[in-house]
């Protein structure tokens, strides 16, 4: 079969978050994937430097996951999500809860990071109402945050391009300032020294709106899509303290940082901060099948479990919540992570990763380098063509040179699969150095 797409067949697919006309003029097409590599339709190997979209944490086409999906598809393809259950959904909820710290023990399944965020925001508002604090309806996000593309997530998100076209968004949302850009923090290794006091923005918002109106704060422990913005030392702990003092729920959006990215199962464990709700997706199934989850503290879950036992406690859910094939994929993914020690292995290679990335200091136009766990970003100065042009040029040239990354503005972001070895890290750093030094 001729797998080369016909030029006139590219029109129908309206691609997400893509410059469609530019792409279709010169398409980039993957045909297969295995381990650390994609292969293009013209047979070139491209090393995965960003776990595809921060999701293929165990690398590609892992046999256990593939086989679990095949078996489940033949055994029970679908089962209703409401008022009927199946064993794998319960098993997966238990497995996931066991990976979380402290009282995070109750799991609600969704199909994506965006849906996890909507679910968590709804849980937060409903939780307060159930406890007789129905005035707590405000949601606080953070500038440069990314929480998906649905209305709640877009509203608490802080990326201008994702928000500006879509009207007034959800009412009653406010934002903390982001923590990026203090020159004293440029080229920090791991958590930057300066900026913990930016968490006090929450105090300011409490003064402005009154705590009795605020339901929850949502942050990514490390901002991923915003360009790998690592929280300043002590920032997240301070946020937790302010939330506690004011009865505000803290939501960690761990869609990227979950499942071993920082060398602990979740970033919550890395930073020693326990949130009230955790959202996850991506690495839950190694990116193979759409699935997400919200993990809630027992106090939140239990607040819903009141009234007559035949009453539905939470009027929320999706046709594909706990889909059996997704559950089978997730269980096989967790098996793979556990068998290969992937949820913690990054801790030992992170110093090597840090050194490799920071060896790029001094390369052409590099103005900042950030890293934590197996995440990192190399930020370039904006080029003469305006912001993001140089970053995108780097993306294209890296792709041609056999390395997949993601760019946001002029930051080139990396998050290699957790199976990456030193040789892969060396290739990544060498390739980035060569490419960046050849971009005007």
Ligand X SMILES: Cc1ncc(COP(=O)(O)O)c(C=O)c1O
Which is closer to ligand X, CB of 301 or CB of 406?
Answer: 406
Classify the C-alpha dihedral 332-416-414-398 as positive or negative: negative
User: From the CB of 77, what's the least distance to ligand X, in Å?
Assistant: 22
Which is closer to ligand X, CB of 115 or CB of 410?
Answer: 115
Three-state secondary-structure class, residue 322: coil
Three-state secondary-structure class, residue 34: strand
Helix (H) / strand (E) element for 175: namely strand 173-176
C-beta atoms surrounding 272 within 10 Å: 11
Nearest-angstrom CA–CA distance, 82 and 93: 16
User: From the CB of 348, what's the least distance to ligand X, in Å?
Assistant: 25
Which is closer to ligand X, CB of 117 or CB of 349?
Answer: 117
User: From the CB of 25, what's the least distance to ligand X, in Å?
Assistant: 26
Q: Which residue has the tokens 């070139």?
A: 44
3-state percent helix, strand, coil for the chain, nearest multiple of 5: 40, 20, 45
Which is closer to ligand X, CB of 121 or CB of 281?
Answer: 281
The residues, ordered by sequence, that sit 6+ positions from 178 with a Cβ below 8 Å of its Cβ are 142, 143, 144, 145, 158, 223, 226, 229
User: From the CB of 438, what's the least distance to ligand X, in Å?
Assistant: 29
Which is closer to ligand X, CB of 318 or CB of 427?
Answer: 318
Nearest-angstrom CA–CA distance, 429 and 73: 40
User: From the CB of 259, what's the least distance to ligand X, in Å?
Assistant: 13
Nearest-angstrom CA–CA distance, 380 and 13: 32
* DSSP structural state of residue 223: B
User: From the CB of 187, what's the least distance to ligand X, in Å?
Assistant: 24
User: From the CB of 336, what's the least distance to ligand X, in Å?
Assistant: 20
User: From the CB of 372, what's the least distance to ligand X, in Å?
Assistant: 15
Which is closer to ligand X, CB of 155 or CB of 431?
Answer: 155
Nearest-angstrom CA–CA distance, 219 and 330: 25
Which is closer to ligand X, CB of 115 or CB of 368?
Answer: 115
Which is closer to ligand X, CB of 231 or CB of 433?
Answer: 231
Output phi, psi for 292, to 5 deg: -140, 175
By beta-carbon distance, which residue lies closest to ligand X? 113
User: From the CB of 306, what's the least distance to ligand X, in Å?
Assistant: 30
Q: In what order do the strands lie in the sheet with 249-253?
A: 104-110, 292-297, 277-280, 249-253, 214-219, 138-142, 173-176
Nearest-angstrom CA–CA distance, 302 and 30: 46
Which is closer to ligand X, CB of 158 or CB of 391?
Answer: 158
Output phi, psi for 108, to 5 deg: -115, 125
Task: Report the residue count for the chain.
Answer: 440
User: From the CB of 147, what's the least distance to ligand X, in Å?
Assistant: 5
By CB under 6 A, name the binding residues for ligand X.
112-114, 117, 146-148, 220, 224-225, 253, 255-256, 281
Which is closer to ligand X, CB of 267 or CB of 436?
Answer: 267
Nearest-angstrom CA–CA distance, 368 and 2: 44
């Amino acid at each position: 079969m001729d797998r080369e797409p016909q030029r006139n067949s590219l029109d129908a697919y309206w691609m997400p978050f893509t410059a469609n006309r530019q792409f279709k003029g010169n398409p980039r097409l993957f045909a297969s994937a295995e381990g650390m590599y994609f292969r293009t339709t013209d047979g070139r190997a491209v090393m995965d430097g960003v776990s595809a979209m921060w999701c293929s944490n165990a690398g590609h086409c892992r046999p256990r996951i593939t086989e679990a999906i095949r078996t489940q598809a033949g055994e029970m393809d679908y089962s209703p999500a409401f008022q009927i259950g199946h064993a794998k959904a319960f098993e997966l909820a238990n497995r996931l809860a066991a990976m979380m710290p402290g009282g995070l023990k109750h799991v609600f399944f969704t199909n994506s990071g965006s849906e996890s965020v909507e679910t968590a925001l709804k849980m937060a508002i409903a939780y307060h109402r159930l406890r007789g604090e129905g005035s707590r309806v405000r949601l606080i996000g953070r500038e440069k945050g990314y929480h998906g593309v649905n209305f709640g997530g877009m509203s608490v998100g802080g990326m201008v391009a994702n928000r500006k076209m879509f009207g007034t968004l959800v009412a009653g949302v406010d934002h903390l300032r982001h923590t990026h850009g203090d020159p004293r923090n440029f080229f920090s290794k791991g958590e930057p020294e300066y900026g913990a006091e930016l968490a006090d923005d929450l105090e300011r918002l409490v003064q402005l709106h009154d705590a009795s109106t605020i339901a929850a704060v949502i942050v990514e422990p490390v901002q991923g899509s915003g360009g790998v913005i690592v929280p300043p030392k002590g920032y997240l702990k301070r946020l937790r303290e302010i939330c506690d003092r004011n009865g505000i729920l803290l939501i960690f959006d761990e869609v990227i940082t979950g499942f071993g990215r920082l060398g602990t199962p979740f970033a919550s464990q890395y930073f020693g901060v326990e949130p009230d709700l955790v959202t996850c997706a991506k690495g839950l199934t190694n990116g193979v099948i759409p699935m997400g989850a919200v993990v809630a503290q027992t106090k939140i879950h239990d607040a819903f479990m009141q009234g007559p036992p035949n009453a539905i406690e939470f009027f929320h859910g999706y046709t594909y919540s706990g889909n059996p094939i997704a559950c089978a994929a997730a269980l096989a993914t967790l098996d793979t992570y556990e068998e290969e020690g992937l949820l913690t292995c990054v801790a030992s290679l992170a110093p090597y990763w840090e050194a490799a990335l920071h060896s790029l200091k001094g390369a052409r136009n590099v103005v900042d380098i950030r890293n934590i766990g197996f995440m990192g970003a190399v930020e370039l100065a904006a080029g003469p063509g305006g912001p993001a042009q140089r970053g995108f040029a780097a993306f294209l040239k890296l792709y041609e040179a056999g390395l997949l990354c993601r760019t946001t503005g002029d930051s080139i972001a990396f998050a290699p699969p957790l199976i990456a070895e030193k040789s892969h890290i060396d290739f990544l750093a060498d390739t980035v150095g060569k490419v960046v030094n050849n971009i005007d």
